Amino acid sequence: MQTRGKYFFTSESVTEGHPDKVADQISDAVLDTLLAQDPDAHVACEALVTTGMAVIAGEISTTGYADFPTVVRETIRQIGYNSSEMGFDSQTCAVISSVDRQSPDIAQGVSREKPEDQGAGDQGMMFGFACGETKTLMPAPIYWAHQLSQRLAHVRKEGIVDIFRPDGKTQVSFEYQDGKPVRINNVVVSTQHAATASQDDVAQAVKQHVLRPVLEPSGYFDEKDCEIFINTTGRFVVGGPMGDCGLTGRKIIQDTYGGSGHHGGGAFSGKDPSKVDRSGAYMGRYIAKNVVAAGLAPACEVQIAYCIGVAQPVSVLVSSQGTGEIPDEDLTRAVREVIDLRPYFISKRLNLKRPIYKKSSCYGHFGRELPEFTWEATDVAADLRTAAKV
């Protein structure tokens, strides 16, 4: 249900140099390397990064081959950790791997004689969400937080600002009135920086090259009427894996909707499409976005739940959260008429057995309308309207 009256809602994002995101990118880089050779690879790859070290572990069954140290080092290099000055060096860090085959007990539940009978890779519930607050049908706080994080990385990599380093965080708080965003109330930016840079140097660079170019065109930002917090400890030189241990799957809220709507608890990175934690959540987003794009509701949340080894979901709920004119029962019925939610058909419809996942591991899996991100398409909106008898 929509909240009435005036309230504030906040979401955060992190840059690709944040240690948890370094781990996510390593996991998805391994996945992409294997899917490029073997689309049917079963991959569950976790990563840990800390001072001078990267560790990968998990269960992988594939006909492909990945040179793990090379994949790990190249991923770290692309992020920008390529010298001791950064606190983490792709050339000299240790790389440790401990990878086993997928459990045969799980494999027999997923594999079937008929591909369409493929069972879910695990039990659990997945959520999707969409709303009309932004052009990509994402909640405004997480959308603009991601825009700031992407801009931080852009100005660093392009040399526009030479004092920024890879690690960073952003946070945006919106004021809402009767469920609609009306203004940005406060912004938080923390960026790792060169030891020679002063607090004032960092603050001025962030305002000039990050905040103003991103937020002023939004229509929600008035610098005179917005609290701005930049590197509030006063110093952020030690960062990345040297400053904090990073783990795959520890940023699941910023990966999705920034706290808007529910979350099933499953992480995405390092998992192939047979894992419904990933493919089910992507399908949930696809459904929710098409419902909103079809004009069936201004906001939509989808829950899909599975049982390991069973193809059909054990429950499906498509809800307008009280924002639409159509009963949730009718929305759910329309979706089930139009879209087959068995794992095989999810993967087929969204074309998920491709090496597209490293690109998804930073700045949100949703709301980025890239050609590879098929779950952002709104190509069944008309079919849903017909099935809903609108």
- Indicate the annotated binding residues for K(+): 46
**Annotated binding site for Mg(2+): which residue ranges?**
20
C-alpha to C-alpha distance for 248 and 43, rounded to whole angstroms: 14
Radius of gyration of the chain (CA): 21
Residue linked to tokens 């969204």:
350
Q: Which helix (H) or strand (E) holds 98?
A: strand 94-100
DSSP assignment of 236-251: --S-HHHHS-EETT--
Please check whether residue 355 is in contact with residue 262, taking contact to mean a CB–CB distance below 8 angstroms.
no
- Cα 102 to Cα 37, 139, 354, 360: the distances in Å are 18, 37, 20, 24
> Six-digit token pair at 386?
């017909």
The conformation of residue 39, written as its DSSP 8-state character, comes to T
Q: Which residues contact 217 (CB under 8 A, 6 or more apart)?
A: none
Longest dimension (CA), the chain: 64
C-alpha to C-alpha distance for 42 and 270, rounded to whole angstroms: 10
Strands 180-193 and 82-83, bridge-based pairing? unpaired
**Annotated binding site for L-methionine: which residue ranges?**
59, 102, 244, 275
> Six-digit token pair at 297?
């509701």
Nearest CA to 189 out of 148, 237, 144, 246 is that of 148
Q: Which residues contact 278 (CB under 8 A, 6 or more apart)?
A: 266, 268, 271, 272
Please check whether residue 15 is in contact with residue 152, taking contact to mean a CB–CB distance below 8 angstroms.
yes
Please check whether residue 265 is in contact with residue 355, taking contact to mean a CB–CB distance below 8 angstroms.
no
Q: Classify 279 as helix, strand or coil.
A: helix
Residue linked to tokens 């910023």:
254
> Six-digit token pair at 132?
């009309």
> Six-digit token pair at 154?
């852009």
**Annotated binding site: which residue ranges?**
18, 20, 46, 59, 102, 167-169, 235-236, 244, 250-251, 267, 271, 275
